Chains A and B, each alone.
Chain A
Amino acid sequence: MDKVSFLLFVSGGLFTIGLLGVIIRRNALVMLMCMELMLNGVNLSLVTFSQQRGDAAGAVMVFLTFVVATAEIALAIPIVLLLVRQWRSLDAARYSTLRG
């Protein structure tokens, strides 16, 4: 397995672990952190392709992903704080009354 394949495998592994965490964990904060892990996996594959091709497009995308991740956290944390204030719990299963 050469370097590119290995890095792509690591990035796929990080994405899969993040997705698994979002699906199987119940703690809302842990689910948020797993989303960050998914973004990290995508970033790694973008940087790998960008280095391989030698142009800056992938790095630009990574910077935009940084912005998106930061904005996502800045919005998601107040929402989680509101949910905790309402339900006194971080358990995502308790928020089931939120469904439309």
Chain B
Amino acid sequence: MLALLSAASMLILREPMRVALALITSMTSLAAVYGLMGVHFIAAFQVLIYVGAVMVFMVYVIMLLQLRESNVADRWSALRWPGVLVAGLLLAVLAVVARGVDADRMPRAPLGQSFTLVEFSTDFLSRYWLEFELTTVFLVGAIVAALAVIGVSRRQGAASGASVETGAERQHG
């Protein structure tokens, strides 16, 4: 409930920093839900990776930019009402599906035999080795893309520096 409430407040709040804090609240409460469900290692990774890395990065960027949304006349986009309509329909469909789920008819683990961290780690590196290797390829692709973005940024910086220099020369001339 706390996760849902803080997520809903993300839509309403105006300042990006407050939105980030609401998202951190939502993620931490989800970690608590994971802990209550018994998957403690996912709860730990949720806190470490999402709250510890991703959100710290996000908060750092918000502080770096120091742009307030007050210069934006309207915080909502033009698609406000169609978006609300589509989201309402999606929520209704998902609610009907979630209500129709019959947990007794789903294949379920024998009582007390949910997986442990050891089984998860063994499965991760043996049964799902292909996914693991594909993830490394994906990460290499992400690094190449990040280098490309840095290259664009450097070219832009050089271009703006050159234009400033020509402007200064013109003034001197």
Q: Is the CB of B72 within 8 A of A27?
A: yes
* In the bound complex, CA of A59 to CA of B106 (Å): 18
Residue of A nearest to B103 (CB): A4
Contacts of B99 in A (CB 8 A): 1, 5, 9
* In the bound complex, CA of A4 to CA of B90 (Å): 19
Q: Is the CB of B98 within 8 A of A20?
A: no
Q: Which of A6, A9, A75, A82 sits near B152, CB closer than 8 Å?
A: A82
Distance to closest chain B CB from A33 (angstroms): 5
With an 8 A cutoff between CB atoms, is B164 at the interface? Answer: no
Q: Is the CB of B156 within 8 A of A82?
A: yes
Q: Write out, one digit per residue, whether chain B residues 27-54 have a CB within 8 A of any chain A CB (1) or not (0).
A: 1001001100111001001100110011
Q: Write out, one digit per residue, whether chain B residues 101-122 have a CB within 8 A of any chain A CB (1) or not (0).
A: 1010011111001110001100
Contacts of B120 in A (CB 8 A): 56, 59-60
Q: Is the CB of A25 within 8 A of B11?
A: yes
If A23-B86, A73-B54 touch, whether A84 touches B65 (CB-CB below 8 Å) is: yes
Q: Is the CB of B10 within 8 A of A37?
A: yes
* In the bound complex, CA of A75 to CA of B115 (Å): 34
Q: Write out, one digit per residue, whether chain A residues 17-54 have a CB within 8 A of any chain B CB (1) or not (0).
A: 11111011111011011101100100110011011111
Q: Is the CB of B27 within 8 A of A56?
A: no
B interface residues, how many (CB within 8 angstroms) = 81
Main SS class of interface, A: helix
Residue of B nearest to A30 (CB): B19
Contacts of B152 in A (CB 8 A): 82
Contacts of B38 in A (CB 8 A): 51
Q: Is the CB of B45 within 8 A of A63?
A: yes
* In the bound complex, CA of A31 to CA of B24 (Å): 15
Tell me the B residues contacting A by CB distance below 8 Å.
3-4, 7-8, 10-11, 16, 19-20, 23, 26-27, 30, 33-34, 37-39, 42, 45-46, 49-50, 53-54, 57-58, 61-62, 64-65, 67, 69, 71-72, 74-80, 82-84, 86-87, 90-91, 94-95, 97-99, 101, 103, 106-110, 113-115, 119-120, 123-124, 128, 131, 135, 138-139, 142, 145-146, 149-150, 152-153, 156
Q: Identify 14 new A-B residue pairs, CB closer than 8 A, beyond the known A69-B49, A71-B138, A78-B153.
A: A13-B91, A17-B11, A20-B84, A21-B11, A24-B76, A36-B23, A52-B107, A52-B108, A53-B107, A56-B119, A75-B142, A77-B58, A81-B65, A93-B78
